[in-house]
């Protein structure tokens, strides 16, 4: 009898694991069944704001591999609209509810991949049956929001609650669609993934687009009429709305795993080893937004929900399940986003992270241009570096600027990954041509200033 692999969650982490396992073991040796409560496999949730705005034409453009591809080419039995409700580790069995046809199915497993992703943060005030209130975590969410925006009469006023990546990107998407947009954020800044001084640059650019940003504001409830949302109540007054988008962040979706006895770490994610095996649980692996991993700079356990990590972790799990050997080396928190033409990148630790981890450090902020100053289209780029005292090891970096800004964070991410000092970085042999960079690249200018700060 073939060994049986059950995958719980048919998106990035789960299907990367299934695909890698299949490449190493044929269907006569390994049977693979994948369950997911949604209607899609392996799609880009990060692309939803660009589909909502109209920049991406079709929803299916966001789907990397559809269920038919997995069934026909990978011989994976994909069961969509099936929600796994229980995992019995003693009996080696999962129980799933058929959301479309009704009833339950019980399926045995020899090996299990837990890849349930993350679940959106929904405070009590957001739990409503009123129409016009939307999350944007899944393609189903995107479908519902698109339909609402295209109704007649079309919504005119939008309130986005939450100023993280999704909130900022959705505010842009709705502005592009011609709505009046208010972004409400409880913290003192949007984009808390960067330091306040850099977040201020992002906020200024958003206001320049016409987005009304309200920080330090706590939402207390929703106003509704005739079953539809009409406004958002806050401690600073009410904001009228024809549509409300929730961007309050996510947390690891571990409830099912915890109920089965899977261990959860201090970050809230499932604990795994470097090969993505669940700690202390034979034959169970985990990958994606539901797991905890190691931050290579702070040395602390973290949960950073990004598709880049999920795909890599799933690949590692699948290679190991298939009989190979692979490890996941940890993360440094590299991420990029944009607000229309403004680009934002970050990697490593913020100042608050470095302080919490016990580092002594200097931080420097420099302004340069993305191209040679005389070349058409040259625009300002702000780079921030955080370096450990006294040796100068890079701890973190942030960039806010226009064209060619965000991807420069990759240069800094490579330096950070390899433990470079800012002094060593001043000698990096980076490419130069007037259309692409000044003679002294913004990365090199920032590194030089950090060296000066360390010797001051």
First to last CA, the chain: 70
SS3 of 363, please? Answer: strand
In the DSSP assignment, the letter for residue 138 is S
Whole-angstrom distance, CA of residue 391 vs CA of residue 37: 50
* Residues in contact with 308: Cβ distance below 8 Å, sequence separation at least 6, in sequence order: none
Question: Kindly report the CA angle at 181 between 175 and 183, in degrees rounded to 5?
Answer: 120
Query: How far is the CA of 292 from the CAs of 11, 331, 443, in angstroms?
Result: 18, 10, 31
User: Which token pair is 197?
Assistant: 């001084």
Beta strands in 284-334 (DSSP E): 284-286, 291-294, 301-302
Question: CA 180, 186, 189, 195 torsion: positive or negative?
Answer: negative
Which strands make up the sheet holding 180-185, listed edge to edge? Answer: 133-134, 243-246, 157-161, 180-185, 212-215
3-state helix, strand, coil in the chain (%, to 5): 30, 30, 40
User: Which token pair is 5?
Assistant: 């692999």
In which region does residue 299 sit, left (phi positive, over 0), alpha (psi from -120 to 50) or beta (all else)?
left
- Residue 46 a catalytic site member: yes
Q: Which of 46, 209, 294, 414 is catalytic?
A: 46
State the catalytic residues: 46
């Amino acid at each position: 009898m073939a060994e049986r692999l059950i995958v719980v969650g048919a998106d990035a982490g789960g299907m990367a694991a299934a695909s890698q396992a299949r490449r190493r073991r044929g269907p006569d040796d390994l049977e693979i069944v994948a369950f997911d409560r949604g209607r899609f496999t392996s799609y880009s949730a990060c692309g939803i704001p660009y589909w909502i705005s109209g920049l991406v034409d079709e929803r299916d453009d966001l789907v990397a591999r559809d269920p038919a591809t997995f069934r026909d080419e990978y011989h994976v039995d994909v069961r969509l609209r099936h929600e796994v409700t229980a995992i019995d580790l003693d009996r080696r069995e999962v129980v799933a509810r058929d959301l479309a046809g009704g009833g339950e199915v019980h399926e045995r497993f020899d090996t299990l991949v837990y890849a349930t992703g993350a679940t959106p943060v929904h405070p009590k005030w957001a739990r409503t049956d009123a129409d016009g209130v939307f999350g944007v975590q899944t393609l189903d969410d995107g479908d519902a929001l698109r339909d609402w925006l295209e109704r007649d009469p079309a919504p005119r006023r939008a309130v986005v609650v939450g100023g993280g990546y999704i909130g900022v990107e959705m505010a842009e998407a709705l502005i592009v669609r011609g709505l009046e947009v208010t972004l409400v954020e409880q913290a003192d800044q949007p984009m808390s993934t960067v330091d306040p001084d850099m977040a201020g640059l992002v906020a200024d650019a958003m206001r320049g687009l016409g987005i009304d940003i309200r920080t330090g504001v706590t939402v207390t409830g929703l106003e509704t009429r005739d079953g539809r949302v009409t406004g958002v109540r806050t401690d600073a007054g009410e904001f009228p709305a024809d549509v409300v988008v929730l961007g309050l962040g996510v947390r690891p979706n571990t409830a099912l795993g915890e109920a089965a006895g899977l261990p959860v770490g201090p970050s809230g994610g499932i604990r795994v080893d470097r090969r993505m095996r669940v700690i202390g649980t034979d034959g169970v692996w985990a990958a994606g937004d539901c797991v905890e991993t190691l931050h290579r700079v702070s040395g602390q356990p973290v949960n950073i929900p990004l598709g880049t990590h999920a795909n890599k972790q799933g690949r590692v799990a699948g290679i190991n399940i298939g009989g190979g050997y692979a490890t996941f080396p940890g993360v440094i928190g590299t991420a990029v986003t944009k607000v229309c033409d403004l680009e934002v990148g970050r990697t490593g630790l913020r100042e608050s992270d470095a302080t919490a981890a016990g580092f002594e450090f200097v931080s420097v902020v420099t302004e340069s241009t993305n191209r040679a100053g005389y070349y058409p289209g040259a625009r300002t780029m702000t780079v921030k570096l955080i370096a450990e005292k006294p040796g100068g090891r890079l701890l973190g970096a942030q960039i806010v600027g226009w064209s060619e800004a965000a991807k420069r964070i990759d240069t800094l991410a490579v330096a950070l990954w390899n433990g470079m000092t800012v002094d060593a970085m001043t000698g990096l042999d980076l490419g130069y041509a007037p259309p692409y960079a000044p003679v002294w690249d913004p990365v090199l200018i920032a590194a030089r200033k950090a060296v000066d700060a360390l010797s001051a």
